[in-house]
């Protein structure tokens, strides 16, 4: 059974640029959630995708967007990067039922200069 | 904005001590409460998913209780070991399929 993987591990961008982060779900999982964790805080829910459709969204602006592919892998896109977007971005996959455990990837550390 | 509070923020105990910490959440629109353990340089790992008021779950030396009416959950670790050192996160799942995480309790167990 393959775990959740994320790429890249680290990324440095400048203000105003765009970034795409990638997540491969654990085998058999059809739901992916994305989180932003700023220093000293808990993960903040960005959105969730279930079978290629957005299935819940947190309080993030529209410049945070996502996709889920037929193989249930996922992308998080952030446009017009701001300094405050510097954070660890985590994805988590599950089988879709809300009561099921989420399995997290190792995260992507994004630094915006 | 929905608040999930965890206390204490950090905790230092000796090996063999038992410890507990708290997660407070809104009592309305409750769907489920998740507990995660996050070791440094690793991914968060699910410990428990709890849904029913009065629920109690156990995994080895770790257990958790849930009170949805008053909006809190306790996590207990019996006989702490150095390998229990980690940040423990709780996450509230509401009826609208949104997760709200607390900031975590960082536990350090000294040998």
Q: State the residue for tokens 């040998």.
A: B111
Q: What is the mean pLDDT of each run of 10 residues along chain B (111 residues)?
A: 90 96 93 94 93 94 96 97 96 89 96 94
Distance (Å, rounded) from C-alpha B37 to C-alpha B111?
20
Distance from CA of A16 to the nearest CA of B (A): 27
pLDDT at A97: 67
Segment A72-95 shows an average pLDDT of 96
Report strand pairing: B105-110 vs B10-14.
parallel
| Residue B99, min C-alpha distance to chain A (Å) | 6
For residues B81 and B26, is the Cβ–Cβ distance under 8 A? no
- What is the phi/psi pair of residue B82, to 5°? -55, -30
Q: What is the 3-state secondary structure (H, E, C) of B75-108?
A: EEECCCCHHHCEEEEEEEEECCCCEEECCCEEEE
Q: Give the Cα separation of A99 and A96 in Å (integer).
A: 8
Cα of A84 to nearest chain B Cα, Å: 18
Give residue A93's pLDDT band: very low, low, confident or very high (50, 70, 90): very high
* Bridge partners, B65 (sequence order): B56, B74
Rounded to 10 degrees, the C-alpha dihedral A11/A5/B95/A86 comes to: -10
CA distance B18 to B16: 7
Q: Report yes or no: A70 at the B interface, CB cutoff 8 Å.
A: no
Confidence of residue A23 (pLDDT cuts 50, 70, 90): very high
Q: What is the rounded average pLDDT of the residues A94-107?
A: 83
Cβ pairs A/B, distance under 8 A: 60
Q: Report how far residue B19's alpha carbon sits from residue B77's, in angstroms, rounded to the nearest whole number.
A: 5
Q: Which residues of A touch B99 (CB under 8 A)?
A: 33, 35, 43, 45, 58
Specify the residue for token string 């660890």: A88
The pLDDT of residue A100: 74
């Amino acid at each position: 059974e393959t775990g959740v993987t994320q790429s890249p591990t680290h990324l440095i961008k400048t203000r105003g640029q765009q970034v795409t982060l990638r997540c491969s779900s654990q085998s058999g999982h059809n739901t992916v959630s994305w989180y932003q964790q700023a220093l000293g805080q808990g993960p903040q829910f960005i959105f969730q995708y279930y079978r290629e459709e957005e299935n819940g969204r947190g309080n993030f602006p529209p410049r945070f967007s996502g996709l889920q592919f037929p193989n249930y892998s996922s992308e998080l896109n952030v446009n017009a990067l701001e300094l405050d977007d510097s954070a660890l971005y985590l994805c988590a996959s599950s089988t879709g039922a809300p009561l099921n455990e989420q399995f997290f990837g190792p995260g992507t550390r994004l630094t915006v200069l | 904005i929905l608040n999930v509070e965890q206390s204490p923020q950090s905790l230092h105990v000796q090996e063999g001590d038992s410890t507990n910490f708290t997660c407070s959440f809104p009592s309305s629109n409750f769907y489920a409460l998740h507990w995660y353990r996050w070791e440094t340089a690793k991914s968060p790992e699910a410990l428990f998913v709890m849904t029913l008021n009065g629920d109690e779950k156990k995994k080895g030396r770790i257990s958790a209780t849930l009170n949805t009416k008053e909006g809190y959950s306790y996590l207990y670790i019996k006989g702490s070991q150095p390998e229990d050192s980690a940040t423990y996160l709780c996450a509230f799942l509401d009826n609208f399929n949104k997760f709200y995480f607390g900031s975590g309790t960082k536990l350090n167990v000294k040998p």
